[in-house]
Structures are given as structure tokens and as C-alpha cells.
A and B are shown apart, each in its own frame.
Chain A
């Protein structure tokens, strides 16, 4: 297929091209692609047609290769020791992953033996454009589901592309399986061929466990190591690298492998339970307390313990504030939610941390220094770290909450419940004030203030006709992250993904949202009731630049996404260069870049907006097209960097998040 571009105003001689490409003319291409299984939505077809009409050139439309669909539709293989040639090390590993119900693989080509074996085994696999974004996609999938997901890249550069994603997942304690191959042991230290790197030292400090597997017959044993770590205690990334000698080794019978037995024998589902004494002591403390509060950390989500949590709090009127890299394991709209009750946090007299994996120091949380502090954690050695405890309980989160739910007496705490409600109302009033001010700023400047975007987002997805529990979304970016921090509602588990959680990552946003989108399309775990709904990514121009090409990936895999980009022509940090010579330019981009046009080039709808009314309309339109036709959109929201500057545009909508609670990303 020939692509002919002309910028000459004189009409080009098209006869030769037309004759050479008979059967592949623009209109015929569009027609055939539209009929094919891999056709994109009507929006991108129309865009291609508009462009080709405008420039009068033969321009094949963007489409999905037929082989893509054919390949995806193939049946999984059934590797076995008895098949011709037996099983490779990669196939042995893939079978173990299947047995462990590895939920998804996100990768770029490279590490071929492993990714091909995993895909052939039937593990849902997704190929993207950048290993870093694919790593974040696996993280996002896991944050939306609580399940283990894998990422993979090629030996050297693909692996190092994943570093930011691995560190981000580590900070979030995501059960992420990082896979990468490492050429051949035979070539080690000789710089033989290309892509040589020592992987394991590179991930030091950003993983729970890692191993370079060098003994072929131990490949299954190390699969056991990996899943024992991924599925026990506090999760975290596990990094395995496979030299070719391991992945290509062949085994014709199980006796050739060490520790070749099922998962029920190489790990256990048994978990630590709280002692009766611990529960009694805690109930006594709860009985004495007037304003008890539970900080429901990531462990509550990981262990899917939201139901006993709800039961406990309702029985005894205990307030709950969420923490962690994902939100929704306690609904914001519950009468006992302290997620937006910032003003009441300092009133709590008993604070019970449950499953708080990333532990703050006392000065980082807005709690009264007089509180009685209880920490419930699955690992004894972490209790007392950073924050001295009045009572420490070693327990799995779910078993603890179930045990407490069985014993806790009923109690009404009307004054406390009223105080929480008043604090939430105050928070909403402040949001409303921030919104009204942002509308004025937008009108005055002719550009969109980030607080308008945040408020309109909440209005559409949480306060309108759409079920407020439906939409899974991610929030990132610097200035827009702060604005969204005040509006990032979460009403059910796995609904909200806080991209920068703890590590402060800027740029994982679109990849992470894609991973969450895959989970929602497939209806995995807590996403099941909302299967098929579109996923939203709210991000900044700075962050979007890292991941826009994954919209190509989203289109191929038919994951409808709405990517809202707050485009303020700068890194959100630009204000810090104030009064510093020659520093401001370090923070700036070209002005008025068109991310919507980039999106169109990737076969995705683009919307350009700069007024509140335009944004409202574009968001509603994008949602409709995503939910009805499966089309993805990028909404380029043109703002100005000066909105980040409190001297010129003071705004309660851009207050820094108060920890713990809505918008908090540090712990």
C-alpha cells in the first residue's frame, strides 16, 4: 500500500498512483476496513476521510490489522511433557502462571519465549507501545482488581524502560510480576551481541523479591517463589529474569524439574488471625473512645475486606477514612465516611490503622497528637515503624475485620456522626466556592481553570444520570491532580486509581488507566458489575506526553477511554522558578500544543475546549460515544500556567490535599 502525501497546492498527477494501487484506493480501503473485524469506530474513519478529502491524497485510514484479530481469536495451546519435544522452560513457567490465575500480561515485544508462552497458555495478553506504560498498565489493572498482573519487556532497554513503573508499583505495594529476559548466560560479561545488563541489581530497593533464574530445571521452583511472594503478606513487585538457557530448555517429564508440585503445596492460604485477647483489648479501647476512626488502607482492598469493614463501622458508628493507591473500599457517600470530613479528623480520639502498608509518621496526618493509636498489620515486624503504637495487632486484614465484626457491640454515636456530616458539608461548600471562583477565572481569561474540569467531571460521573459507582478512573498530574484531589469521589472498590501515590510518578497515567480499562472491559473482580463501561483518565499535559501512544493500544484492544488532558503549557512546578534567574524556561513547553490532534493521528477522537460550556459538552459527547460506540476520546482542555500561581489566582480548589482523605497521595 503506497501512501502519497502532497503539500503542493497544484493537484498532483494521481493517475500512476491510482493505477498502481487499484484495489487499495482510499475509499475502497475505508470500505473494506469498515467491514473487517478490526475496523475502528466511525469517528476515526470519518477523520481519515476528511483529511484525505482536504488534501486530495490517497491516505489509507487508520485500522486494525486483520492478523491482530486473527491472532487474538486463536485457541490457546496445551503444552505438555508428552508433546513432541516436551515443554520448554518458558512453557513450564507459563503453566504455573496459569495455575496461579495470573490475570493479565502487559508487554512490548522482547522476552519472546516467555510472553509467547504466556499468551499461548491463554493468559489475557496485551501488547503496547512502550514497556514503561505497559508496566504501569499492569499496575493499573492490579489497582483496579486486587489481582496479580504481569509486565514484560525486552532484555536491556525494554527492561530499563520499565523502571519508573516498577518503582511506582513498589511504592504502591502492587502485586506486580515483572518479567524480562536477559540474553544468554553464555554471553554474560562478554558484551556478546546486544542488550546485556545486570537486571537484578537495577531493581534493588524497588521490589519485594527478585531472581535471575540460571538453573533451567529450577524454573518451576522459582515460579513458586514468585507467587508465594506475590500472594502472601504485604504484596509488592516480583522480578524474574530468564536467560535463554532457562526459557528454551526442554523437559520431557516432570521429574526433571525441582519442586514440581501444585500451588497448594508450595504456598498456603493460611493467614495470621488476631488473638481473642487482642480483640478484647481493642473492643475495650473502642468502648472508651468517643470518636473512633478506622484508617482503611490498601490491605483492606487487597484482601477484599470491605464488607466486614462496613459491618463493623455501622454496628458501632466508627468513622472510616480511606488510604492507599486506589479508592472506593469505603464509600464516600456513607454517613460514617471521613474521606472528605477533613475538619473532623482532628477530633478522632482513637485511630485504628488497618492494612496501612505505607505507614506515615505522626506529623504527616492531620490527627490530634492526643490520639490512642492501634495498628493492625499482617507482618509483625512492621508494627511500630514510623508511628508508635498503643496497641499492635498482627493479623490479616480480612480475618481481623471479620473477628471484630463478630464481637463488636452495637453503639450509636450521634454527636460524632453529626460532626462528620457537618465536616463533609463544609468540604462541599469549599468545593463549590472553588468551582464558582474557577468559573470566574475561566470567564475572565478565556481559558479553562482546572477546578472547573474537576467539578464538571464530578458532576457528570457522580451527580448526574450515570451510576456514581460505574466509572473507573485514574487521577494524576500536578495542578490538575490537586484540583481533582478535591473532586475524586469513590463509591465502590477499585473505582479510583491515584497514579502518583507515594512515589509521585508523573507520566504513568494513560498506561495505568489502560490497565484499569482492561479490567473494566473484562469485568474482573470488583469491576464485574460495571463490565464494559468506559474508563476515564484525568491527567496533565506533562504526564500525557509519556503515554499518549497507548491510545493506539487501547483502540486495538477495544478499551474505550476518555483521556482528559489539562493543558497549561507547563510543568505544574513552574511557579518555583519565580525570582530565579534563567530557571523558568526549564518548566515550560510550547504553548497551545494540540494533544487532540495527536489523538486523531492515533485513530482516536480529539476534542479541543477552552470554556466551561465547551468542556461540559465535550465530556458528555465523549462519554456517550465511549459507552454506546466504544470510541475513545482525548479532550484537550486549554488552560494557562498562571492558574497554578496563587498570587494571581488564589483558589481553594487548588489546596494541597490533607492526609488522610480524598486527594491524599503520600500514604
Chain B
């Protein structure tokens, strides 16, 4: 898979989620050479960004959960949440590739990184990118619904508690 095919595959896959109604206001732009930046509205009607870096064979969701202090209880809980999704007990269609996915806290923003292995095919990229988006979706639909992050949600997403149901 060359750089262009990597970027095109990422673009088509993400655009597919927009067509299915999961993303709104989807757009793509060239962020740098061999890097494409995709923007869309998603949870809590917020803006999300996904960067495809062909040279590094990496896809970033840099700001999945904003304003989370490194090594805080929430930071640790989220890492645990992602780790549980890499568990061998999970069926293959749900299991995240442990060696390829990483939780990153950069400038107090929790994000996810997916790195392809050397020789990964287009279909493996589609599959793993799908899993990356799925775990990001679960972050909002499951992780944040534990009851422990109500104040965080209220403050970060201007969401009223009545909207948590």
C-alpha cells in the first residue's frame, strides 16, 4: 500500500461512516505532505479530528477526551478501558490490536493512535480503522456513562445532565 492508497483508504472509510450518519459535516484537507486531516461533527455535536499520516502509517484521533490530566484517575481508567478491549477473551471482530493501538495524553488531551504494521493490506487498514472509530464511539457511549464523569461531561461538552440519559 503506497502513501496515496493509505490516504485514500482512510478517506473512503471515514467518509463511509459519514454516509451512514455517524459523522456530520465531514471534510478532508491536506495538513502536510502525506498527511490528511479529516474533520467531522460527532458526539455532543462536537468537532472531532482524525489525522492520517501516510509516512508513519499512523492514524491519530488526537483529542478524543479533552482536558484530562496525565496520570489522573480518569486518564488511568481510560487506559484500562482501552486495554480491556485488547483482551484475548474478546471475539476477533471486537478485539483491538494491542500492539498497534496506543492511548496518548498530549497537552492534557486524551487521544488514540493506530499504527499499521509493515505489510498490512488495505483490508486490514479498513478493519483496524473501523475498530479505532468503534472504540472512540464506545468511549462516549460506554466509558463516559459510568456515572463518574458527569461533571466532566457537563464542563467539557456544555451538556446538561438531563441529556445524559
- Interface residues of A, Cβ cutoff 8 Å to B: 290-291, 342, 346-347, 349, 361-363, 365-366, 368-371, 373, 386-388, 415, 419, 482, 500, 504, 573, 575-576, 578, 646, 650-652, 654-659, 664-666
Residue with the greatest number of chain B CB neighbours at <10 A, chosen from A369, A386, A578, A650: A369
For B14, give the chain A residue with the smallest CB separation.
Answer: A369
- Give the number of residue pairs across the A-B interface with Cβ within 8 Å: 90
Given known A-B contacts A342-B142, A366-B141, A665-B165, A388 and B17 have beta carbons under 8 A apart: no
For A291, give the chain B residue with the smallest CB separation.
Answer: B93
Q: Find chain A residues with CB under 8 A from B149 CB.
A: 646
Contact with A along B80-91 (1 / 0, CB 8 A): 000000000001
Contact with A along B132-165 (1 / 0, CB 8 A): 0110011011100111111100100000011011
Q: Find chain B residues with CB under 8 A from A388 CB.
A: 19-21
CB distance from A404 to the nearest CB of B (A): 23
CB distance from A496 to the nearest CB of B (A): 16
Contact B20 A369 (CB under 8 A): yes
Which of these, B94, B162, B165, contacts A347 with CB under 8 Å? B94
Contact A346 B145 (CB under 8 A): no
Given known A-B contacts A347-B93, A388-B21, A419-B91, A656 and B134 have beta carbons under 8 A apart: no
Residue B130, interface by CB 8 Å: yes
Residue with the greatest number of chain A CB neighbours at <10 A, chosen from B22, B42, B147: B147
Q: Find chain B residues with CB under 8 A from A666 CB.
A: 165
Contact A368 B134 (CB under 8 A): yes
Docked complex: B52-85 residues within 8 A CB-CB of A: none
CB distance from A514 to the nearest CB of B (A): 24
CB distance from A483 to the nearest CB of B (A): 10
Q: Find chain A residues with CB under 8 A from B43 CB.
A: 363
Contact A363 B42 (CB under 8 A): yes
Given known A-B contacts A346-B138, A347-B91, A366-B138, A655 and B145 have beta carbons under 8 A apart: yes
Q: Find chain A residues with CB under 8 A from B137 CB.
A: 346, 363, 366, 368-369
CB distance from B152 to the nearest CB of A (A): 10
Docked complex: B99-140 residues within 8 A CB-CB of A: 130, 133-134, 137-138, 140
Instruction: Give A500 to B145 CA distance when docked, in angstroms.
Output: 18
Instruction: Give A655 to B130 CA distance when docked, in angstroms.
Output: 26
Q: Find chain A residues with CB under 8 A from B134 CB.
A: 346, 368-370
For A388, give the chain B residue with the smallest CB separation.
Answer: B21
Instruction: Give A646 to B161 CA distance when docked, in angstroms.
Output: 14
Given known A-B contacts A363-B22, A388-B21, A656-B165, A346 and B94 have beta carbons under 8 A apart: yes
Instruction: Give A370 to B142 CA distance when docked, in angstroms.
Output: 18
Which of these, A290, A369, A482, contacts B22 with CB under 8 Å? A369
Q: Find chain B residues with CB under 8 A from A665 CB.
A: 165
Contact B133 A369 (CB under 8 A): yes
CB distance from A430 to the nearest CB of B (A): 10
CB distance from B68 to the nearest CB of A (A): 16
The contact sample of 17 A-B pairs, CB cut-off 8 A, is: A290-B93, A363-B43, A363-B140, A366-B137, A370-B134, A387-B21, A388-B20, A504-B162, A646-B149, A650-B148, A655-B146, A655-B147, A656-B146, A656-B147, A656-B165, A659-B141, A666-B165
Contact A362 B165 (CB under 8 A): no
Contact B22 A654 (CB under 8 A): no
Contact B161 A573 (CB under 8 A): yes
CB distance from B15 to the nearest CB of A (A): 12
Contact B161 A576 (CB under 8 A): yes
Instruction: Give A233 to B165 CA distance when docked, in angstroms.
Output: 28
Given known A-B contacts A369-B17, A370-B130, A652 and B146 have beta carbons under 8 A apart: yes
Q: Find chain B residues with CB under 8 A from A290 CB.
A: 93
Which of these, A368, A575, A657, contacts B165 with CB under 8 Å? A657
Contact B20 A373 (CB under 8 A): yes
Docked complex: B10-27 residues within 8 A CB-CB of A: 17, 19-22
Kindly state the interface size class of chain B when it binds its partner: 20 to 34
Instruction: Give A349 to B133 CA distance when docked, in angstroms.
Output: 15
Contact B165 A651 (CB under 8 A): no
Contact B91 A500 (CB under 8 A): no
Instruction: Give A7 to B147 CA distance when docked, in angstroms.
Output: 49
Instruction: Give A369 to B148 CA distance when docked, in angstroms.
Output: 25
Residue with the greatest number of chain A CB neighbours at <10 A, chosen from B141, B161, B164: B141
Q: Find chain A residues with CB under 8 A from B162 CB.
A: 504, 573
Contact A650 B147 (CB under 8 A): yes
Q: Find chain A residues with CB under 8 A from B17 CB.
A: 369-370
Q: Find chain B residues with CB under 8 A from A646 CB.
A: 146-150
Instruction: Give A62 to B151 CA distance when docked, in angstroms.
Output: 48
Q: Find chain B residues with CB under 8 A from A346 CB.
A: 94, 134, 137-138
Interface contacts beyond A573-B161, A666-B165: sample of 16 additional A-B pairs, CB < 8 Å, sorted by A: A346-B138, A363-B22, A363-B140, A366-B137, A368-B134, A369-B17, A369-B20, A370-B134, A371-B20, A373-B20, A500-B165, A504-B165, A655-B147, A656-B165, A657-B145, A657-B165
Instruction: Give A655 to B142 CA distance when docked, in angstroms.
Output: 9
Q: Find chain B residues with CB under 8 A from A363 CB.
A: 22, 42-43, 137, 140
Q: Find chain B residues with CB under 8 A from A651 CB.
A: 147
Which of these, A362, A415, A658, contacts B20 with CB under 8 Å? A362
For B73, give the chain A residue with the smallest CB separation.
Answer: A650
For A368, give the chain B residue with the smallest CB separation.
Answer: B134
Q: Find chain A residues with CB under 8 A from B146 CB.
A: 646, 652, 655-656
CB distance from A501 to the nearest CB of B (A): 10
Q: Find chain B residues with CB under 8 A from A291 CB.
A: 93
Residue with the greatest number of chain B CB neighbours at <10 A, chosen from A362, A654, A657: A362
Residue with the greatest number of chain A CB neighbours at <10 A, chosen from B20, B91, B151: B20
CB distance from A293 to the nearest CB of B (A): 14
A-B interface, 8 closest residue pairs, ranked by CB to CB distance from nearest: A656-B145, A366-B141, A369-B22, A362-B21, A388-B21, A646-B148, A654-B147, A369-B17
CB distance from A375 to the nearest CB of B (A): 12
Q: Find chain B residues with CB under 8 A from A658 CB.
A: 141-142, 145
Contact A362 B22 (CB under 8 A): yes
Q: Find chain A residues with CB under 8 A from B130 CB.
A: 368-370
Q: Find chain B residues with CB under 8 A from A419 CB.
A: 91
Q: Find chain A residues with CB under 8 A from B19 CB.
A: 388
Instruction: Give A654 to B147 CA distance when docked, in angstroms.
Output: 6
CB distance from B135 to the nearest CB of A (A): 9
Q: Find chain B residues with CB under 8 A from A366 CB.
A: 137-138, 141-142
CB distance from A141 to the nearest CB of B (A): 24
Q: Find chain A residues with CB under 8 A from B142 CB.
A: 342, 366, 658
Q: Find chain B residues with CB under 8 A from A370 CB.
A: 17, 20, 130, 134
Q: Find chain A residues with CB under 8 A from B164 CB.
A: 656
Q: Find chain A residues with CB under 8 A from B161 CB.
A: 573, 575-576
Instruction: Give A290 to B43 CA distance when docked, in angstroms.
Output: 28
For B141, give the chain A residue with the smallest CB separation.
Answer: A366
Instruction: Give A500 to B20 CA distance when docked, in angstroms.
Output: 29
Contact A415 B150 (CB under 8 A): no
Instruction: Give A578 to B155 CA distance when docked, in angstroms.
Output: 11
For A654, give the chain B residue with the smallest CB separation.
Answer: B147
Instruction: Give A646 to B154 CA distance when docked, in angstroms.
Output: 14
Instruction: Give A654 to B165 CA distance when docked, in angstroms.
Output: 12
Instruction: Give A573 to B91 CA distance when docked, in angstroms.
Output: 39
CB distance from A510 to the nearest CB of B (A): 21
